[in-house]
Amino acid sequence: MWFRVDYHSGVPIYEQIKERIKEAILKGEFDDSNPVPSVRELAKALGVNVNTVVRAYREFEMEGFLRAQPGVGYFVGDVERLREKILCDKLQQLSLLLKELRDLGFSKEDALRILEDAWRGEVR
């Protein structure tokens, strides 16, 4: 299986499943021509209850990121919408971080240097 759930992380299992599927969709591991793993297949591979996978898939379906084809399976939905949602979420997080840095007395130049270092993977 391409991922494992972490029972000790404090993150609900269905959320972990959603996050891993989201990553796989964005990396192109799934496309709209082939179904994502079936509910039963994924539940068995991860050793989790079928209802946990159903919850993850249904939430993703309601968000438009998966679409169900009865009798066939779940397929990738609107990838661009998924990218936009992730970007929006990350921009909100970045905005909060920048406000916190500003409140702590960091300059714009300091913040830009921190961002550039992080982009290059040089976070201390």
pLDDT higher than threshold 70 for residue 124: no
**Residue pLDDT, tens place only, 61-101:** 998 889 999 988 899 988 888 888 888 999 999 999 999 99
pLDDT higher than threshold 80 for residue 106: yes
- In CATH, what number does 13-77 get? 1.10.10.10
Whether pTM > 0.75 for this model: the answer is: no
**Residue pLDDT, tens place only, 8-22:** 999 999 999 999 998
Domain boundaries, the chain: 13-77, 80-119
Q: What HEC string does the chain produce? A: CCCCCCCCCCCCHHHHHHHHHHHHHHCCCCCCCCCCCCHHHHHHHHCCCHHHHHHHHHHHHHCCCEEEECCCEEEECCHHHHHHHHHHHHHHHHHHHHHHHHHCCCCHHHHHHHHHHHHCCCCC
